[in-house]
Structure 1
Amino acid sequence: MDPDALNAALEKVHHAGMPGVFAEVRDRDQVWRAAAGVADIATSRPVTADMRHRVGSISKPFTAAAVLQQIESGQIGLDTPISRYLPKLIPGERGDAITVRMLINHTSGLAEYLPHAYPSLKAFPVLAETSPRSLDDHRFTRFHPAELIEMGVAAPAAGRPGGTPGLYSNTNYLLLGQLLEHVTGTTAEKYITQNVIERAGLQDTELPDSSQVNGPHSQLYEAWFGMIDPPRDYSVYDMSWVGPAGSLISTVADLNRFFGLLLTGEIVNQSSLAQMQRTVPVISQEGRIIDYGLGLHPMEAGAFWGHGGTVWGAGALSMTSADGNRQMSVAVNLQRWNRLAPSGRPQPHPIDDALAALYRVAMQR
């Protein structure tokens, strides 16, 4: 590793407009960990590399791993119809056609519930007529997973079950949370905590049951494509709107530990890991076609595996080399910094290039 190059790349992300950014890169027994910028714009409190952070959809590999553990024990069938377990949530022929695998890899055809839970956000990724009003309206709203799932199931289908490209949809992972509750007799959050988080020895990772981020953390600034100006802090927020699909709190060190263990077969067995790395084309929330496995996303032609995540004000990306040796986790405290073009699509921003440069430096081997 080149610490000087990493430090310079991290600083460039901050100077490009990111209030605070922190990261950890590992290569076997070498560790670089650093931070740049501020955790609180009002007080100039600095961001530090050990801060706990909302990591959004990086929750999905944790949830997928928990489901695969139950598959290994014979409690769930990977290619079994979801109607076998949750007939009331997806009734009729549709439930018979959608398998557990299709939920994990986003090929179920189920729509995203977010535009229905947050009406002023409209549909992703078309953003031309959006408004951030719903973010404040629902800051302390307590959603029940079945309520959100019903929105996704009732919405027009995004495709046929098993068809590709699939559509990245949080509805799938809320259903996986309900599946875990059905077969284990406990909440998905408790099962994932005991069997994934604690099994991996993660000391600063949790699926929260409150709207607070406990411990040292940054303020989380949401710009919503320039419609919130100046960006507003959403670090206090009820995360029931995304649950086991995206509510995880962690640190960059814990994320690297988790993915390092996962990619070496210590969270699920090697057979399950091979299934996680079987990819299909999926349409991301940004409207791009990506390769997606069972809760894992490849980068650099499969040389790295991991996941990214975003919630209101917080973003993170974690990637690990296929052999588990080289790892990168990066967290930022501003989201949707791009303004919108007349077409409604996000415009390029210097932060995009600075982050891409940081990733390249962090992942070069």
Structure 2
Amino acid sequence: MKFSILILVIAFLTSCHVFGQTKKYADLPSKIDSIIENTSFNGVVLLTKDSTAIYSMATGYCDLEKKTPLTINDQFVIGSISKQITAVLILREYEKGKIGLEDKINHYLIDIKEPWSKEITIHQLLTHTHGIVALDKPLEFKPGSQFHYSQLGYELLACILEKVTAKTFKKLTTEFFSEYGLKNTFHPDYKKYKHLVKGYEESESGVLESTPNSLSNFVAAGAFISNVADLNKWNQLLYSGKLVKKETLELMKTKYATRIHPVFDTIEYGYGLLFKDGEQNLEIGAFGYAPGFVSACYFYPQTNMNLIILENTGNSLDDFKKTFKVHTEIMQLIKNQTPNNGNE
């Protein structure tokens, strides 16, 4: 009897704690709604704390011509959010001792004949500090001396993974997603996705037009497909140390270079993850842009919140601050919930 009473007390206290946490953030949904209202946002938003969804919403259409409504389970091209997936795969091979972060890339990519292949390291590919502009051209700058955002660098990381694992990048990533239950995340060449929405970009005349080249980026750099539930799960797996060791995760969160960013102005760059200087433990993640797809995937360590925003219309492309306006305003709202911002 005493044992039963103890179980009931624990259950009651747990439920009170969960209710208290939920109540604490009860005003967030209406605040997010107010950000989205009167905008052209066409997409899905998921905000979770621990394992509880605080906000989940789909608005607009997955096919503008057919007026097919979006659902929360629809799949999107996630753009540069893809880079952290590639970075994790590299770091998993690093943990096995198969890759050294200071290894020169000519050790793996023997077909590159340019002399710089003997200078550039895997670390420099991960951090966009390599200076490669093309495989048959001289470097733009001395390796390690500058930052220049590069899709090609991450494609070379995929090639290195193929060499080390003796698997195609398609097979490697498909097995990886399956292993961790990411059932809605795909290499685009693995044609099993069924709910990929159409992407649209605003033309010079202000009309949203379908973009046939949404998957034109190198996959490792910007063309994986996913949905909000899987990206939320990805964050939970990554930041809890289930994909890489905690000390390896710290490498991902280390400042290696400063980027002049079209939305943030300046931002620090780790291994596929972005953060303001000194704010790795406040707000960390990545934006993604592929033709017609505008995305954000962020984690807030102090409140254990995950924010995923996936949009399939690209507006105001001459000013990315406007393109990502809804994303950044919601991010600031969530960031304001943390103790460092004086709200707890």
In which range does the TM-score fall when normalised by the shorter chain? 0.7 to 0.9
Same amino acid, percent of matched pairs: 25
Pair 1:22–1:213, CA change in 2 (3 A): farther
Task: Say yes or no: does 1:184 pair with 2:160.
Answer: no
User: Residue 98 of structure 1 contacts residue 161 of structure 1 at CA under 8 Å; is this kept in 2?
Assistant: yes
Does the residue aligned with 2:60 lie in a helix, a strand or coil? strand
Which of 183, 186, 192 pairs up with 1:203? 183
1:97 is aligned to 119
2:199 is aligned to 220
Residue 100 of structure 1 aligns with an amino acid whose one-letter code is I
Q: How many Å apart are 1:41 and its aligned residue? A: 2.5
TM-score (norm 2): 0.81
2:89 is aligned to 66
Which of 267, 291, 298 pairs up with 2:268? 291
Q: How many Å apart are 1:61 and its aligned residue? A: 0.7
Residue 75 of structure 1 aligns with an amino acid whose one-letter code is K
Task: Say yes or no: does 1:328 pair with 2:272.
Answer: no
1:359 is aligned to 331
Residue 103 of structure 1 aligns with an amino acid whose one-letter code is L
Does the residue aligned with 2:179 lie in a helix, a strand or coil? coil
Which of 172, 178, 184 pairs up with 2:153? 172
CA distance in 2, matches of 1:285, 1:355: 15
Task: Say yes or no: does 1:107 pair with 2:129.
Answer: yes
Q: How many Å apart are 1:281 and its aligned residue? A: 2.3
Does the residue aligned with 2:56 lie in a helix, a strand or coil? strand
1:280 is aligned to 256
Which of 258, 270, 287 pairs up with 2:246? 270
Does the residue aligned with 2:29 lie in a helix, a strand or coil? helix
Q: How many Å apart are 1:24 and its aligned residue? A: 0.8
Q: Give the 5 Å matches for 1:1-365.
A: 2=25, 5-10=28-33, 12-13=35-36, 15-18=38-41, 20-31=42-53, 32-89=55-112, 91-92=114-115, 94-111=116-133, 152-155=134-137, 157-164=139-146, 166-195=147-176, 197-209=177-189, 214-223=193-202, 226-227=203-204, 229-234=206-211, 236-237=212-213, 239=215, 241-283=217-259, 286=262, 288-299=265-276, 301-302=279-280, 303-322=282-301, 325-335=304-314, 337-338=315-316, 340=318, 346=319, 349=322, 352-363=324-335, 364-365=337-338
TM-score (norm 1): 0.77
Residue 316 of structure 2 aligns with an amino acid whose one-letter code is N
Residue 38 of structure 2 aligns with an amino acid whose one-letter code is H
Pair 1:289–1:159, CA change in 2 (3 A): farther
Residue 25 of structure 1 aligns with an amino acid whose one-letter code is L
User: Residue 75 of structure 2 contacts residue 184 of structure 2 at CA under 8 Å; is this kept in 1?
Assistant: yes
Q: How many Å apart are 1:247 and its aligned residue? A: 1.2
Pair 1:157–1:275, CA change in 2 (3 A): same
Q: How many Å apart are 1:265 and its aligned residue? A: 0.9
CA distance in 2, matches of 1:323, 1:87: 45
User: Residue 289 of structure 2 contacts residue 295 of structure 2 at CA under 8 Å; is this kept in 1?
Assistant: yes
Q: Which runs of 5+ in 1 are unaligned?
A: 112-151, 341-345
Q: Which has the higher contact order (CA 8 A, sep 6+)?
A: 1
Aligned length: 310
Does the residue aligned with 1:232 lie in a helix, a strand or coil? strand
Residue 331 of structure 1 aligns with an amino acid whose one-letter code is L
Q: How many Å apart are 1:214 and its aligned residue? A: 3.1
Residue 37 of structure 1 aligns with an amino acid whose one-letter code is G
CA distance in 1, matches of 2:326, 2:107: 47
CA distance in 2, matches of 1:17, 1:207: 29
CA distance in 2, matches of 1:320, 1:279: 17
CA distance in 2, matches of 1:7, 1:213: 36
User: Residue 43 of structure 2 contacts residue 58 of structure 2 at CA under 8 Å; is this kept in 1?
Assistant: yes
Q: Which runs of 5+ in 2 are unaligned?
A: 1-21, 339-344
Q: How many Å apart are 1:219 and its aligned residue? A: 2.2
User: Residue 174 of structure 2 contacts residue 186 of structure 2 at CA under 8 Å; is this kept in 1?
Assistant: yes
2:9 is aligned to none
Pair 1:8–1:44, CA change in 2 (3 A): farther
Pair 1:353–1:186, CA change in 2 (3 A): closer
Pair 1:77–1:339, CA change in 2 (3 A): closer
